[in-house]
A and B are shown apart, each in its own frame.
Chain A
């Protein structure tokens, strides 16, 4: 079936550096994408979303880029902080609603 996956299972960055987390999706009909952050023992926390009619969206210290040609999604975190350490998931949805298909996640580790 359709799936969303991630290129890197673990990403280690130095505090203050920028982080880039990548995601590949396979369902060309997906029209809505979300990045979630999940800390240990907690539920996923919404970070930022983007619809398929956009290729870039910015939030506070975060930017999501969408390349529909190659079915690729990325999350950029500027000036990474220790509090950013968590597992990051991309998720996709087709046709709205909140049925989401998640990838397996990327562990972001911020080194001091």
Chain B
């Protein structure tokens, strides 16, 4: 079992550009959530996808958008990048249909905006 996998591991973008991050959930999981973790801080919830729809959203602007595919994998898109978007982006998966609340995290994508 590969667990939650994210790609790429590191990324450098220029202010104003757009970025797409990818996540494959743990085998058997149907729900994917995305978190932003600034240096020295705890992860902050961005949004959650289940059945290919955004189900919950945190306090993030609509520059942050996502998608979930039929195979449960997910993408996080960020438009018009700001320097403040530099952070570790974490994907977490769980099995909503089983009522599990335990979330398994991937290793994250380190995004640097210059």
| Residues of A bordering B, CB below 8 Å | 1, 4, 32, 34, 36, 41-46, 49, 89, 91, 93, 96-105
Cα–Cα distance between A97 and B31 once the two chains are bound (Å): 9
A80 to chain B, nearest CB (A): 22
- Stretch from B13-21, B64-72, B79-87, B93-101 forming part of the interface with A: B93-101
- If A97-B56, A98-B92, A99-B33 touch, whether A43 touches B41 (CB-CB below 8 Å) is no
With contacts defined as CB atoms under 8 Å apart, how many contacts are there between chain A and chain B in the complex?
A: 68
A89 to chain B, nearest CB (A): 5
Asked if B31 and A44 sit within 8 Å, CB to CB, the answer is no
Residues of chain B from 36 to 51 with CB closer than 8 A to chain A in the complex: 40-45, 48
Asked if A46 and B102 sit within 8 Å, CB to CB, the answer is yes
